[in-house]
Amino acid sequence: MKLHEYQSKRLLAAHGVPIPKGEVAETAEAARAIAEGLGGQVVVKAQVLIGGRGRAGGIILCETPAQVVREALRLLSSPLKGLAVRQVLVERAADIATELYLGLTVDRRAQRMVLMASSEGGVDIEETARAHPEALRAVPLDPLIGLRPYQVTRLAEALRLPRTLWPRFNSLALALYQSAQANDATLAEINPLAVTAEGDLLAVDAKMIVDDSALFRHPELRSFTDPDETPVERLEREAGISYVKLKGRIACMVNGAGLAMATMDVIKLHGGEPADFLDIGGGAREERVVTALRIILTDPDVAAVLINIFGGITRCDEVARGIVKAIAQAKPQVPIIIRLVGTNETEGRRILEEAHLSTAPTLYEGARLAVAARKGGNEHLG
Ligand code: GDP
Ligand code: MN
């Protein structure tokens, strides 16, 4: 889950990262009140989940509350880089002397978190990594030991930070690390990390991504959920289903990612195209099957559904009950072919047969039936 700048800043500040004083507003009038409370020059920042807002006109320095109202109104009434702006962050403007970059991310190859720093902050860091890789320093972190002060000192030296700032840089980097750990973040970055004219360090912009698989441990982050999430995305997140929409017309519902890929292959072998990749996961209970079928059937291109379940921990009778219930609720207009083998398969088949649903003996046969059913119907999409 990507977090907005103001949300990321709250999580970072809770662990001691210095951030500018400010608040988020949903209306221009609320923005004015915040600006008046802060006094002096402020910055109005569009809250959208995309970088490069500055260049796109989403970050504006304002001298007066009247200007704040105008800019907030403008930002809140039109999309920025194609995304609706629901909130603006109004902060006391920072007097920036230098812009640095400081970020924590996962290095999959090293199988650990890395702390990265660059003296070329404020700009697109991927671009810096490409054009001037030497300007980006990375320190891999041992997951058992965590971030040690000597590692931060090395970065401070590489950045040519004045020695007077080293202690503050050290506590800031540790606070960044602690916040990322505490929130199960896969990314936590401060860009720019400003050295102010007064000689302080300040996180002027922040971005965090929280690992979706760890969200269950963070009920306090529930209110951070994106209101622009689509109904399908919400169902997916709440039910723990992985769903990727594809271009074909044969929908699949499978337990396990590997089996889902094999199912897609066999559909292709028979000349069909999968409409989605859907993994209901291990040990899927009745409710999750109902949700999965609802998700599949929201796609108007679906011409046939192939359900392929290999019962291990997942019990076929439980899945069968979910299928019967889901079909009763969703009343699909397309043929459904079910292949169900493994734990409790006899009971599962009996439940399906009682509901007048037909099963296929093998995946090969199931895919063949699904492709044939699709061809019997609408043919224009493939
Ligand atoms: P981004 O473009 O989405 O990354 O948004 P940022 O918050 O990083 O802002 C972009 C740039 O605007 C920064 O790199 C700064 O140069 C500038 N900026 C943002 N906030 C302030 C501020 O409070 N004071 C000053 N002087 N510049 C700012
Ligand atoms: Mn930025």
Nearest Cα to Cα of residue 323 among 363, 279, 355: 355
pLDDT of residue 379: 40
6, 101, 177, 243: which one is catalytic?
Answer: 101
CA pair distance 154, 159, nearest whole angstrom:
9
Cβ atoms within 10 Å of 71's Cβ, excluding its own: 25
Map tokens 């000597």 to a residue. 150
DSSP state of 94: P
CA pair distance 116, 366, nearest whole angstrom:
50
Helix (H, G, I), strand (E, B) or coil at 130: helix
Cα separation values, 53 from 122, 127, 129, Å: 11, 16, 20
Contact 100, 195 (CB under 8 A): yes
- 301: tokens are 């291109």
Cα separation values, 138 from 79, 107, 152, 172, Å: 35, 10, 10, 16
CA of 191 relative to ligand 2 center, distance in Å:
5
In this structure, which residue's CA is closest to atom 6 in ligand 1?
205
pLDDT of residue 90: 98
In this structure, which residue's CA is closest to atom 20 in ligand 1?
204
Catalytic (active site) residue 364: no
Which residues, 6+ apart, have CB-to-CB distance to 311 below 8 Å?
319, 340, 341, 342, 343, 344, 345, 348
CA of 19 relative to ligand 2 center, distance in Å:
13
CA 140 to chain centre: 24
Contact 100, 159 (CB under 8 A): yes
What number does the ligand 1 atom closest to the CA of 55 have? 2
**Rg of the chain on CA atoms, in Å:** 26
Q: Is the dihedral of CA 128, 134, 136, 142 positive or negative?
A: positive
Map tokens 């003996």 to a residue. 361
Enumerate the H helices of the chain as residue ranges. Answer: 5-13, 28-38, 65-77, 125-131, 149-158, 166-182, 231-239, 257-269, 286-297, 316-330, 345-354, 363-376
Contact 206, 175 (CB under 8 A): no
Which residues, 6+ apart, have CB-to-CB distance to 191 below 8 Å?
101, 102, 103, 121, 122, 125, 205, 206, 207
Which residues, 6+ apart, have CB-to-CB distance to 168 below 8 Å?
200, 201
CA pair distance 189, 192, nearest whole angstrom:
9
Q: Is the dihedral of CA 241, 242, 247, 252 positive or negative?
A: negative
91, 99, 189, 236: which one is catalytic?
Answer: 189
pLDDT of residue 234: 75
- 148: tokens are 């040690």
Residuewise pLDDT in 10s, the chain (382 residues): 899 999 999 999 999 999 999 999 999 999 999 999 999 999 999 999 999 999 999 999 999 999 999 999 999 999 999 889 999 999 999 999 999 999 999 999 999 999 999 999 988 888 888 888 888 999 999 999 999 999 999 999 999 999 999 999 999 999 999 999 999 999 999 999 999 999 999 999 999 999 988 988 999 998 887 766 777 777 777 777 889 989 999 999 999 999 999 999 999 999 999 999 999 987 767 788 888 988 898 889 999 999 999 988 888 999 899 899 988 887 888 999 999 999 999 999 999 999 998 789 999 999 999 999 987 654 433 3
Enumerate the H helices of 39-123 as residue ranges. Answer: 65-77
CA 47 to chain centre: 16
Q: List residues bridging with 188 in a β-sheet.
A: 104, 208
Does residue 43's CB lie within 6 angstroms of at least one atom of ligand 1? yes
Mutate to test the pocket of ligand 1, among 81, 96, 123, 190 (most ligand atoms within 8 A of CB): 96
Catalytic (active site) residue 101: yes
